[in-house]
Homo-oligomer: A and B are copies of this chain.
Amino acid sequence: MLQNDLLLRVLRGEKTERTPVWMMRQAGRYLPEYMVLREKYGFFERCQTPELAAAITLQPVDIIGVDAAILFSDILVVPQALGLEVQLIESKGPILPNPIKTINDLQRIRIPEVDETLNYVFDAIKLIKQELNGRVPLIGFAGAPWTLLCYMVQGKGSKTFDEAKAFCYTQPELAHQLLQMITDTTIAYLKGQVKAGVDVVQIFDSWGGLLSKEDFETLSLPYIDQIVQALKEETLVIIFAKGAWYSLKEMVATGAHGLGIDWCIAPQIARQFAGSNIVLQGNFDPAKLLSPVPVIEQEVKKMLKDFGGHHHIANLGHGILPNVSVDHAKAFVNTVKEYSLVSTE
């Protein structure tokens, strides 16, 4: 039994005594305790060593007091499991030296046995659950197939992911084949995470918002939908398709329990687009955590008011920035806890 199951109750549609809060990338570079481990161990070493992944996952629970832990890992472990080399040069972002460009490249890809290739993640989850010892729920995650295709085809980060798009526009059959392979792997991977003990899964479509509505609903949403269908009976599912405000209604139709939104859509407008029943998660501008603490407090209260107190998980609209001070992160979390407690009484 969880001591703090606020997040789960909100995702099940229940009214709760206050709004739960966590932060995307909460186990990250703004934490000095994380930086100590980052100096000592490479990125994938941290992901692949259950003790390290567990220690990092627990840091923000201990230090910041968030209402949920999220597995420390990376969306690119799935392309790795599919047989692609992924290098993570931390100042430069990911490099995939042999990206997918042709049908021959696609033939290098194989759908893995996740119990073999991604077992280290499941081991980390089991260890985290032990160490959490019921304090807060654990969120697992995976990248959306479109976002993973972006990296697998472009071979690196990009402002436009134009080569990934060109691949889809010139070789649509190949693109859909690749998206399906990623989807099948992701379903097996997330089911493995659930089996290992995560309480919620979040699907990160970081580059969904680079697509037109029509392309999003062709290249991304159908695969997210498959994942939600496969998972939603056995766990709680959140979709976060950054920037894809135009398809909120269609995302609701998947039956996901929650939708992440970024700060570029006002809470009231998101609610209007998404309807009254779905849980919304977000949407504080991460850069606003660089404001003075009194401004943070005032803006967080405003955000809570704009979301209306229920069916809401407080979060940032994207990952916390490395240059945010720990005190400011705490101000965000504490203001949600205190103010939402008072305002929903």
Contacts and interface: CB of A to CB of B under 8 A. Distances in A.
A133 interface: no
A166 B212 contact: no
A285 interface: yes
Contacts of A166: 287, 290-291
A129 interface: no
A265 B246 contact: yes
B266 A213 contact: yes
Interface residues on A, range: 20 to 34
A41 interface: no
A90 B263 CA distance: 31
A90 to B, nearest CB: 15
A211 B291 CA distance: 15
B321 A285 contact: no
Nearest to A166: B290
A210 B285 CA distance: 9
A288 interface: yes
A266 B247 CA distance: 11
A296 to B, nearest CB: 9
Contact of A209 (B163, B264, B295): B264
A164 to B, nearest CB: 9
B286 A160 contact: yes
Contacts of A321: 160, 162
A182 B263 CA distance: 26
Interface in A285-325: 285-288, 290-292, 295, 321, 323
A165 B285 contact: yes
B290 A162 contact: yes
A291 B212 contact: no
Interface string A205-223: 0000111111100000000
A170 interface: yes
B246 A287 contact: no
Interface of A: 159-163, 165-166, 169-170, 209-215, 243, 245-246, 263-266, 269, 285-288, 290-292, 295, 321, 323
27 contacts: A159-B159, A160-B287, A161-B287, A162-B287, A162-B321, A162-B323, A163-B290, A165-B285, A165-B288, A166-B287, A166-B290, A166-B291, A169-B288, A169-B290, A169-B292, A170-B290, A170-B292, A170-B295, A209-B264, A212-B264, A212-B285, A213-B266, A213-B269, A243-B264, A246-B264, A246-B265, A246-B269
